[in-house]
Structure 1
Amino acid sequence: MRFDAVPMPPAVAARPRDPRGYPVPAITPWHDGQPQFALTDYGRSADCARGRLCSVCDVLIPRGPVWRVVGATESAAIAAARAAGRPYRNMAPTPEGPGHRACMLYAAMVCPYLARPNARRGTDARAPDAMTAHVVRGAVRGDSGAVVGYGDYEFAVTPTQVLFRFLDVVEFLPHDTGDAHLAELRAELDRG
């Protein structure tokens, strides 16, 4: 599905766009006037964490659940825990911040890397460390992904990165391709 055919949350529609028309997430750094998709701006990510702002649209996330898009490994771990009737808590920190439900459904559909299992990363992580060593050009997303709702999140702002942990899965929406979320995104936007 073409990104411009996906219904856009109003706060995302207000974001700056790249030359192709893609909205640029709040945590995306810019270099020479161009967004650097797949990289995270430390300062913006810290601001979003501290202010409980959506990492996609930069608007306040109300108290209550937060969402994020997860890749194949975490999606499989959540599915296995749920199938076994066990709670799931990601104890490993991630640099990926939370957002609104509509924003994360939208991101799962329009971000080429998140939307398709055969998608490959176009950019290496800048200054990779143990947490981002897997973020290399050409890496494949994997068989599945999911939009996951969590009861809340914790964060730490270190001198070099912002780290998140997500608590208490409250919603699990797996997908092979992001367009599986189209009906859910439309319903979420209708709820306003």
Structure 2
Amino acid sequence: MRHLTVDRRGYPVIATVERSPAEVDFGSISERRKLALAAFDWCAVCGLPFADELRWQMVFHDEPSPAAVLSGEGPVHEVCALYAAQVCPYLFSSHARLGDEVRKGTVRDPVVWFAGFESTSAVTAHESQLQPGVYTLHFEHRGQADEFSYRSPDEIRSRFTDVLAREKDLPVSDPEGVLIRLFNRLDEGGEVTGAALVAGAAFAKDIFEVQGLGPFRGKNYPVVAGLMLKGTEQEILEFSSDSKDEAFSAIGPWVLERAGRFPAAMQRWRARGQGMVRRPGPPPPAGPGRSVAKNAPCPCGSGRKARRCHPSGIAG
């Protein structure tokens, strides 16, 4: 957690919470920030990438385990799940209650279950059952391979110690390092959300209906995402190099270095975009009914009228 910004009290500010330079709201999850986590495949606690490891999620324990689990919260590293169990008041105490307006008074289950999944297979927008008309992002996890549970965090302290001892730093490329640094700031990180949209998230179904993403609607994010999807390497790099936005300067190189290795959610969004984006074709032939009036001189230079000389036009 050393890379995380701390609030005025010295607490690390985890990846998903709403924040501003003046205030951090640990009780509120930002959908804009969840979009960046999904797009770049980052942990919902520490905001760093996943390697080839299980993705952990708090679950309601059912037997047998379902083939897929849908959650409104992003996946986390195992060490981050164990950390959260010891520092989050709701996860720590069996007597804790939620205090937000929608779920006020909800008491934590006596036993908390975390499950580890092999993959996050998709991220989709769903209308909230609690707030009609409000869309939130949901993460689909598949391949449950491990789990742990506890009543009190004391029961998992030894597991936390063991996992922490095995932790290693994951190499991060320069473009992704820029995005992580910007995402970790105490402002809302809107420009990183914009970078996620142009990398391909703009193609996700109902994405601009998601809570907090209204301001991004109608600002040409799908157009730039089309460039990132079907543009040449030179076009992508030129866009990034010409941008005065630091996140947009990093997103072109990130897209190019990730080509063929995009996170699962991004792969799905970009695949959907393939049918939505058309690259401009060659210019129409010069001739009557094209770019030259039928009685104008033919562009071939013959001096005859276009309709007499080359009525079908001249290919460029």
Q: Does TM-score exceed 0.5, indicating one fold?
A: yes
Q: Is the counterpart of residue 103 in structure 1 residue 80 in structure 2? A: yes
CA distance in 1, matches of 2:21, 2:152: 32
Higher helix share: 2
Asked if 2 retains the 8 angstrom alpha-carbon contact of 1:87 and 1:168, the reply is no
- 1:109-136 CA deviation, whole Å, 9 max, x = no partner? 11000112111112235xxxxxxxxxx2
SS of alignment partner, residue 29 of structure 1: strand
Give the match's secondary structure for 1:124. Answer: coil
Alpha-carbon distance between aligned partners in 1 of 2:154 and 2:57, rounded to the nearest angstrom: 16
After the TM superposition, which residues 26-65 of structure 1 pair with which residues of structure 2 at under 5 Å, given as runs? 26-31=15-20, 33-65=22-54
Partner of 1:142: 109
Percent identical residues: 25
CA contact (8 A) 1:115 1:179 kept: no
- Report deviation, 1:99: 1.1
Alignment of 1:118-129 (within 5 A): 118-125=95-102
Give deviations 1:47-83, integer Å, cap 9, x for gaps. 111111001111001134111233xxx03x1xxx2xx
Q: Secondary structure at the match of 2:26?
A: coil
Distance 1:63 1:49 in 2: 16
The equivalent residue for 2:138 is: 163
Segment of structure 1 superposing worse, 17-26 or 167-176 = 17-26
1:116 aligns with 2:93: yes
Aligned to 2:289: none
Contact 1:26 1:57 in 2 (8 A): yes
CA change 1:138–1:22 in 2 (3 A) is farther
Q: How does the TM-score come out when normalised to structure 1?
A: 0.74
CA–CA distance in structure 2, aligned partners of residues 89 and 116 of structure 1: 30
Contact 1:153 1:165 in 2 (8 A): yes
C-alpha distance in structure 2 between counterparts of 1:32 and 1:90, whole Å: 38
Distance verdict in 2 for CA 1:124–1:21, change over 3 Å? farther
After TM superposition, list the pairs within 5 Å mapping 1:175-190 onto structure 2.
175-190=150-165
Give the aligned partner of residue 132 of structure 1.
none
Displacement of 1:90 in angstroms is: 4.5
Runs of 4+ displaced beyond 4 Å: none
- The unaligned stretches of length 5 or more in structure 2 are 127-134, 168-316
Show CA shifts across 1:23-68 (max 9, x none): 2111111156212123211121011111110011110011341112
Give distance in 2, aligned partners of 1:163 and 1:22.
27
Is residue 2:118 matched to residue 1:151? yes
8 Å contact from structure 1 (residues 105, 185) kept in 2: yes
Q: Give 1:103 deviation, angstroms.
A: 0.7
Query: 2-side partners of 1:173 and 1:61: how far apart?
Result: 20
Cα separation, 2, equivalents of 1:181 and 1:138: 26
Shift of 1:180: 1.9
- Say how many residue pairs are matched: 159
In structure 2, C-alpha distance between the alignment counterparts of 1:62 and 1:111, rounded to whole Å: 25
Give the superposition deviation at 1:165. Answer: 1.8
| Alpha-carbon distance in structure 2 between the residues aligned to 1:154 and 1:142 | 27
* Root mean square deviation, CA, Å: 2.0
What letter is aligned with 1:60?
P
